[in-house]
Amino acid sequence: MALLKIARMGHPVLRRAALPVADPSAARIVRLLADMAETMADAGGIGLAAPQVHVPLRVVMFMVPAVRAAEPHAPAGSPGGSLPLSVLINPEIEPLGEEMEESWEGCLSVPGLTGLVPRFRRIRYSGVDAEGQAVSRIAEGFHARVVQHECDHLDGILYPARMRDLRHFGFVDELQRSVRMREDEEARSVAAEQPDQEMSQVPAEEAN
């Protein structure tokens, strides 16, 4: 196994449509999957597409951590909706309904940034797994989101292109700082409206 270099936003490989995999059992695909898994783990990611490691093939892998997996349509054998590392080769996605939801996303190819992205809430996805077996699952919530995000890479789409409002796009640390400042202002406003004798009940971090 080997660590692969992750392409960053702006590299042409991330703008191209990836090619179908002719033989999922080929030795080069087996090696690619092993290298992608090692690279994803080293980078602390929960999903990775082959174009992100400069390989323009329709291959993705992803996982759903238990902490992000409160969803009713969990795959069999995945308690609480969590999903171990999963591989999809030549994936296809079908939205189940028109309901969309927005949530924050990040990307190993867009380091340090995050954005509020609308996605279909519920989907069916299919493809071939690492053992060459056909896969078909229904997913919703975070599970559906991560699959849509990774499969977008196969069509040359990065998540900022899906955003409705670029005011909700920025560096993670700056957005976190903005949230903290807003919360502090709200806390001070609430404290100012309370009687003096109640000030001691305000937690220190909120009263500052």
Structure confidence by residue, pLDDT tens digits, 149-204: 999 999 999 999 999 999 999 999 998 888 787 777 777 777 666 544 332 332 33
Question: Has 150 been annotated as catalytic?
Answer: yes
CB 129 within 8 A of CB 87: yes
What is the DSSP secondary-structure string of the chain?
Answer: --PPPPP-TT-GGGTSPPBPPS-TTSHHHHHHHHHHHHHHHHHT-SEEEGGGGT--BSEEEEEE-GGG---SSPPTT-GGG-EEEEEEEEEEEEE-SS-EEEEEE--TTSTTEEEEEEEESEEEEEEE-TTS-EEEEEEETHHHHHHHHHHHHTTT--GGGG-S-GGGEEEHHHHHHHHHHHHHHHHHHHHHHS-GGGGGGS-HHHH-
pLDDT computed for residue 185 by the predictor: 74
Mean pLDDT score of the chain: 88
Residue 193: its pLDDT value, please? 66
Question: What's 12-164's CATH class?
Answer: alpha beta
CA 72 → CA 3, 44, 80, 140, 154, distances in Å?
A: 35, 26, 8, 8, 27
106 class by beta-carbon count within 10 Å (0-12 exposed, 13-18 middle, 19+ buried)? middle
**End-to-end distance of the chain based on CA atoms, in angstroms?**
51
Domain boundaries, the chain: 12-164, 171-207
The amino acid sitting at 172 is V
pLDDT at 71 over 80: no
Catalytic residue among 150, 174, 193, 205: 150
What is residue 86's predicted lDDT score, i.e. its pLDDT? 98
What proportion of the chain, given as a percentage, has pLDDT over 70? 84
pLDDT (average), residues 32-36: 99
Query: Minimal CA–CA distance to 82: which of 96, 67, 72, 97?
Result: 67
Q: What is the pLDDT of residues 79-132, one digit of tens each?
A: 346 899 999 999 999 999 999 999 999 999 999 999 999 999 999 999 999 999
- The pLDDT value recorded for residue 81 is 66
